[in-house]
Amino acid sequence: MELSDRMKDYENHYRGKLPRKRFVIVRVDGDNFHAFGRHFCKPFDHEFHDLIRDAALMTSAEMQGFLAGYIQSDEVSFLLTDDMSEESQGWFDYQVNKIVSTASARISVHLNRLMLMRASVAAWDAHIEPKELAGWLPRCNHTPPSFDARAFDLPDDEVINYFFWRALDWHRNSVQMMARSLYSQKQLQGKDQPAMHEMIHAVGKNWTNDLPDWARNGTFIRRVAPYVNPHTNTSNGRTTVDITSELFSRREIAAFIQGAGNERVRARLQSS
């Protein structure tokens, strides 16, 4: 066997693909964000949320077949499809290595670029010389943020369950983060969620009323296909993205996700 063929053979052993005509989840997670976010506001940082949200939106715009997503803290889940039409293809033909490497790289680049833009504006306001800007990224501990990623397929009837699961996970984390900002780890040892709520109320705070929607519910995004006039069968060709942090129940999440994509995709999501 020729050298090039032999090397390609080694490489192809790990060139796995996800099955076609299945919904695909790509989930990215911040890598070592405990160090990166050391100087962020606790328990929740609005600027950090805005940066992650905008980086996620920019990344979703570059994902072929993107339908919807969910953002909680430094984690983003993207829902993809290759079934917008009979001829649709999966992102990178659903090659797992390419999906996870590209998704993690792109959201990392977008977040760093957004941070640099914010830092440039702040530096201008603070009259910092441009030559000093490279070493002046306040609140970032000079640690460039990056993400890891995973990708897997889901049956139609599990799509909504997946997003509901991630939302429940964030609700639990959100309560814990608020409680940790008010009590020591020792005081919270062994306390369940109802007990933490009571402890939060005991100091005059309220998780439901005191926090913005995104800090309680996370943020959902979805791609909405261009509107087609049923009388003329014409479209303006514009794809829009909806953003909301007001979803809480499984029914609300289902209604939002099931409104993504075109009629073909929506029909499949209705079974979830």
What confidence score (pLDDT) does residue 25 get? 98
pLDDT at 82 over 50: yes
Pick the range with the lowest mean pLDDT from 167-171, 187-191, 230-234: 230-234
Closest CA to 63 of 110, 7, 126, 16: 110
Is residue 139 pLDDT above 50, yes or no? no
Distance CA 132, CA 136 (A): 6
Residue that has been written with the tokens 């076609």 in this structure: 20
The 8-class DSSP code of residue 117 comes to H
Percent of the chain at pLDDT above 90?
A: 60
**What is the arithmetic mean of pLDDT over 77-101?**
94
Task: Tally DSSP H helices, then E strands, for the chain.
Answer: 11, 6
Angle between helix axes 159-180 and 193-202 (nearest 10 degrees) is: 40
Please list, in sequence order, all residues whose beta carbon lies within 8 angstroms of the beta carbon of residue 17, skipping any fewer than 6 positions away.
93, 94, 95, 96
pTM: 0.87
Look at phi and psi of residue 134 and say left if phi exceeds 0, alpha if psi is from -120 to 50, else beta. alpha
pLDDT exceeds 60 at position 191: yes
User: Residue 153 has what pLDDT?
Assistant: 97
Spatial CB neighbours of 95, under 8 Å, sequence gap ≥ 6? 15, 16, 17
Bond prior to 43 in cis (omega within 30° of 0):
yes
Span 158-180, average pLDDT? 95
User: Element (H or E) spanning 148, and its range?
Assistant: strand 147-154
Give mean pLDDT, residues 245-258.
92
In this predicted structure, the answer to whether residue 231 has a pLDDT above a threshold of 90 is no
Query: Between 140 and 32, where is the model more confident?
Result: 32
Q: Is the pLDDT of residue 137 over 60?
A: no
Q: Does residue 103 surpass a pLDDT of 50?
A: yes
Topology, domain 19-167+214-269: Alpha-Beta Plaits (3.30.70)
3-state SS, one letter per residue, for 59-83 = HHCCCCCEEEEEEECCEEEEEECCC
In this predicted structure, the answer to whether residue 98 has a pLDDT above a threshold of 60 is: yes
Please report which confidence band the pLDDT of residue 125 belongs to, taking 50, 70 and 90 as the band edges.
Answer: low
Determine the Cα–Cα distance for residues 80 and 95; give it in Å rounded to an integer. 13
pLDDT over 80 (residue 180): yes
Per cent of the chain over pLDDT 70 is 85
> What integer pLDDT is reported at residue 227 of this predicted model?
57
The ranges assigned to domains in the chain are 19-167+214-269
pLDDT for the residue 168: 95
Q: Which residues pair with 78 in a beta bridge?
A: 26, 69
Q: Which amino acid is at 156?
A: D
Distance CA 241, CA 222 (A): 5
Give the residue with greater pLDDT, 92 vs 230. Answer: 92
